[in-house]
Amino acid sequence: MRKIQDLLNGTSSKSRQIPPPSVPEMTSLHHAWEAMMRMMMATMMMATMMMATMMLAMLALVRRAYFLADAKGQQTLVLMAEAPQPSSKDTIKPNTHPPHYVKK
């Protein structure tokens, strides 16, 4: 029972402390390498997030501008910050025929 208690407490029966295992110190090169890798990781993560954000923003802008230009029958692609309100003559009449309907 005493040996189990000694093992749990890290002491021996002579009540002396067991020295901690010796771990080699990190060299300055090791520290520099770790810092460099950390900075590279942070930079890459920030760049990835920024690229994803920019791509989403561009996609939203291009899609809105494309549908606006398409609805007016133009082929030009214009990026607009504010969507203009369509007037009554700009609205497209809905297709009343089913898609398989063909005029003879």
pTM of the predicted model, to two decimals?
A: 0.35
Residue 41: what pLDDT? Answer: 97
Query: What is the Cα–Cα distance from 87 to 61, expressed in whole angstroms?
Result: 21
Query: What is the Cα–Cα distance from 12 to 38, expressed in whole angstroms?
Result: 42
Reduced to 3 states (helix: H, G, I; strand: E, B; else coil), residue 61 is helix
pLDDT, tens digit, 9 for 90 and up, residues 87-100: 655 556 665 656 66
**Helix intervals (H) in the chain:** 2-9, 28-71
Query: What is the Cα–Cα distance from 51 to 48, expressed in whole angstroms?
Result: 5
Residue 57: what pLDDT? Answer: 86
Cβ-Cβ contacts under 8 Å for 45 (sequence gap 6 or more): none
pLDDT, tens digit, 9 for 90 and up, residues 25-68: 778 888 889 999 999 999 999 999 999 999 888 887 776 665 55
